[in-house]
Amino acid sequence: MSKILLLQGNQAVVEGAIAAGVKFFGGYPITPSTEIAESLAERLPLVGGKFIQMEDEIASMGAIIGASLTGKKVMTATSGPGFSLKQELIGYACAAEIPLVIVNVQRVGPSTGQPTSPSQGDIMQARWGTHGDHWLIAITPASVPECFELTLRAYALSEKYRVPVILLMDEVIGHMREKIELPDNYDEIPQAERKQPDCAPADFKAYAADESLVPPMPPFGNGYRWHVTGLVHDETGFPKGAGSATKAAADRQYHKLYDHLDDIVQVENYCMEDAEYAIVAFGGAARTAYEAVDMARKEGIKAGLLRPITIWPFAENEIQKLAGKVKGILVHELNRGQYVYEVERAAAGKVPVYSYAKYDNEPATPAQLLAEFKKAMAL
């Protein structure tokens, strides 16, 4: 049985979290993500989970790292400035390979910026915000139902690959209310499981991985007594100063994700089958793009939309294929131009790549995007 509801994107993330089996949230209030914290403060105790409002964004990250070590599924939610504060421990979570999910409902920045206006200005922060070489996953919903689905997917990916997953939202999607059909009962939703060691505690090496390159991760308190550190460590989990250890750790953390791009990277193709010209857009900006494509088609223009659902790792193969298929690509994003450089790099000069950057507090209207599209493609 299911129920039909009108829900905000942020509320759909909360439903997704409960459905995914999240039992711990550590957060700090920040617009436009606060509804997630408020709602989980009410919901988590009802399922025996814990919500804690920490003293700052850094502490929120620390708390969810700690809770994840006990085997719980954990979440925090924030927006740009808070995301910056979390970056220190996002680096830690990458190094120590701690599964967790960070929701970033983007707003106009830098700094306090326009706290209530939509933006997609944290695309690069999501990838490169923390220090050092690191690899993680960022996914972006473009509808309220997808907020629910991608929250579930965030846990599936995070637990499978032992990696922080960023649910990279924007204010358009976070705050709009839309129809969603939810199961009455979440008991039948498959729960992501963390790989457990199959050896005895005495033989356990905390960061020794099989061919999946993802080490098993037992919860604290069940006999394995392992060590977690942000120092470069070898397969024992203990610090190792050798250059070979640094390289081995980086290579394994890279390959555990980038050898599985088929599993991780998702895009949606809309009207792409016979498309001659393409728009690339994601999240709230994609909502404009669907309608602009429909309008273009009515004018007889063979337009299509490629919507990256996975933002990081970058949809390298999909963009390369697109560049081999269409005559031009317009990247539409709610910032001064970030993702477009990645598309340009992948297209490698095969087709022209244009940018329609919108960064004036409002999403582009479909008519505005269509006009820019026609201008760019000289149609």
Partner 1 sequence: MKYELRLSGTGGQGLILAGIILAEAALLDEKLAIQSQSYGPEARGGASKSEVIIADEVIHFPKVTKPNLLLAMSQEAAAKYSHDLDQDSILITDSLFVKDVPAFGGKVYELPITHSAKEELGKGLFANIVALGALVKLTGIVTEASLVKAVLNRVPKGTEEANKKALTVGMNLIK
Partner 2 sequence: MSMEQLIDKYFRPGRLPHIWCPGCGNGIVTGAIVKAIDKLALEKDSVAVISGIGCSSRASGYLDFNTVHSAHGRALPVATGVKLADPSLNVVVVTGDGDATAIGGNHLIHAARRNIDMTVVLYNNSIYGMTGGQYSPMTPYGSKATTAPYATIEHDFDIAELAKAAGATFVARATTFHTQLLVDLIAKGIQHKGFSIIEAVSACPISFGRQNKLGGPADMMKWQRDHAVMLPAWNKLTEEQRSGKFPIGLLYEVTDRKEYTEAYDELIARAQGGNK
**Partner touching 307 among partner 1, partner 2, none, CB below 5 to 8 Å by kind:** none
**Partner touching 177 among partner 2, partner 1, none, CB below 5 to 8 Å by kind:** partner 1
- When the beta carbons of 31 and 236 are compared against partner 1, the nearer one is 31
H/E run at residue 107: strand 100-108
Task: Round to whole Å and give the CA distance between 141 and 286.
Answer: 10
- When the beta carbons of 177 and 247 are compared against partner 1, the nearer one is 177
DSSP secondary structure string for all residues of 233-266: B-TTSSB---HHHHHHHHHHHHHHHHTTHHHH--
Q: How far is CA 239 from CA 99, 133, 219, in A?
A: 21, 17, 21
Q: Is 63 in the site for partner 2 (CB under 8 A)?
A: yes
Q: How many residues form the binding site for partner 1 (CB under 8 A)?
A: 25
The minimum distance between CB 129 and partner 2, in angstroms, equals 15
Residues 163-192 contacting partner 1, CB under 8 A: 171-172, 175-179
The minimum distance between CB 268 and partner 1, in angstroms, equals 13
Q: How far is CA 156 from CA 139, 204, 263, in A?
A: 12, 24, 11
The minimum distance between CB 49 and partner 2, in angstroms, equals 8
The minimum distance between CB 116 and partner 1, in angstroms, equals 4
Of the residues 288, 310, 338, 355, which one makes contact with partner 1 according to CB under 8 A = 288
Segment near partner 2 (CB under 8 A), from 7-15, 49-57, 244-252, 273-281? Answer: 49-57
DSSP state of 327: S
Q: Is 290 in the site for partner 1 (CB under 8 A)?
A: yes
Segment near partner 2 (CB under 8 A), from 11-19, 45-53, 189-197, 348-356? Answer: 45-53
Residue among 310, 312, 265, 253 nearest 133 (CA): 253
Pairing mode, if any, of strands 328-333 and 277-280? parallel
Where do we find the tokens 């209207």?
365
Of the residues 2, 70, 112, 116, which one makes contact with partner 1 according to CB under 8 A = 116
Q: Is 31 in the site for partner 1 (CB under 8 A)?
A: yes
Segment near partner 1 (CB under 8 A), from 47-55, 157-165, 231-239, 364-372? Answer: 364-372
Segment near partner 2 (CB under 8 A), from 225-233, 244-252, 272-280, 333-341? Answer: 225-233
Residue among 367, 198, 238, 243 nearest 294 (CA): 367
Residue count (the chain)? 379
Number of neighbouring beta carbons within 10 Å of residue 145: 18
- Give me the residues paired with residue 329 across strands: 278, 353
The backbone torsions φ and ψ at residue 83, rounded to the nearest 5 degrees and listed phi first, read -60, -40
Q: Could you tell me which residues come within 8 angstroms of residue 293 by beta carbon, excluding any fewer than 6 positions away?
A: 270, 271, 279, 303, 304, 305
Q: Which stretches of the chain bind partner 2, using CB under 8 A?
A: 23-24, 26, 42, 45-46, 48, 50, 52, 54-56, 58-72, 74, 88-89, 92, 219-223, 225-231, 238-239
Binding site for partner 1 (CB under 8 A): 4, 6, 31-32, 114-117, 171-172, 175-179, 287-288, 290-291, 294, 362-363, 365-367
